[in-house]
Structure formats: structure tokens, C-alpha cells
Amino acid sequence: MKYLLLALSIVSLALPAVANDKVFKQIGDNKIFFSAFNSTFIDPDVAVANQIVRGKDKGLVNIAVVMGSGTGKSAVITGKVYNIFQMSQTLEFVEVREQDAVYYLAPFEFENEDLLTFKISVRSDQQKPAYDLKFQKKMYHD
């Protein structure tokens, strides 16, 4: 698992630069980082170690809540992903902890050149309402 965060960080930083998308939303003192990418970007050994199924039609969405201090924060993450025909998949997020990092991964399936809409609910503070995050990503078979 120690290399998963590094791999996800590299993918998360590289993809938005190519797509010219934002990589986070500022909510109060917290930043919510988000990305979606093809599972084949994950090294096969790292995927096996983390029980991630790789495939040309399988993607991962990555969500992380980071406090102002740069420390990861636990959250309750739920969501769905929709294709252009409004067919949806429920996202099943799994929490991953590595040192000070906390992030959430959820697998999804897609068709080649699918324009997907991700609708994610992030609740990092039980005293406050959840934040609804929405972003789009065009996915390609590798």
C-alpha cells in the first residue's frame, strides 16, 4: 500500500494538467481533492496488493479531504457516476490510510470515450451539512 499514494498523487497531478480541470474545491479551511482515471494507470503489483481490479474499461475515482495544515481528514463519502444516457453506478468508496494521508477510492466501469458525470457527497464534519461535489471526466480505453 505504501506505493499506492505515490502512484495516485502522480496520476492526480498529471491528469488535470492535461484536461485543464481543477483538482480541488476549497470548502472553508478544507480542500477536497478529486480525480478519476483509468485503473490501468496503477502498477499491477500495487493493484494486487490493494485489491484493485485493473482493466481497459475500469476506472477509479479518488477523493481526499485535506485540512489547512496539510493533514488528511476522515470523511463520509458517497456518490454516483452517470454516463450521457443517465445510466448510473453507485460508487462504493474504500478508505485508504498511509501516514498522514487519508483518501477514498471507488471503482467504476466505462465505455470508450464516455463522458461521465460524478456526483459526490462529502461530509467531513458531523456538525455541518455534506458538501455536494460534481465534476465531469471523459474516459478512454487504454
User: Whole-angstrom Cα distance, residue 112 to residue 45?
Assistant: 25
Number of domains in the chain: 1
Residue pair 34/23 in contact by the 8 Å Cβ criterion: yes
Give the model's pLDDT for residue 101: 87
- pTM as predicted: 0.83
Q: Render pLDDT for 34-77 as a digit per residue (tens, 0 to 9).
A: 999 999 998 999 889 888 999 999 999 999 999 988 889 999 99
Q: Render pLDDT for 97-133 as a digit per residue (tens, 0 to 9).
A: 888 889 999 999 999 999 999 999 999 988 989 999 9
Secondary structure (3-state) at 128: coil
Q: Which residue has the cell 460524478?
A: 118
Secondary structure (3-state) at 43: coil
CATH number at residue 28: 2.60.40.3340
Which residue range is the domain that position 101 belongs to?
2-139
Residue 120 Rama label (left phi>0; alpha psi -120 to 50; beta): beta
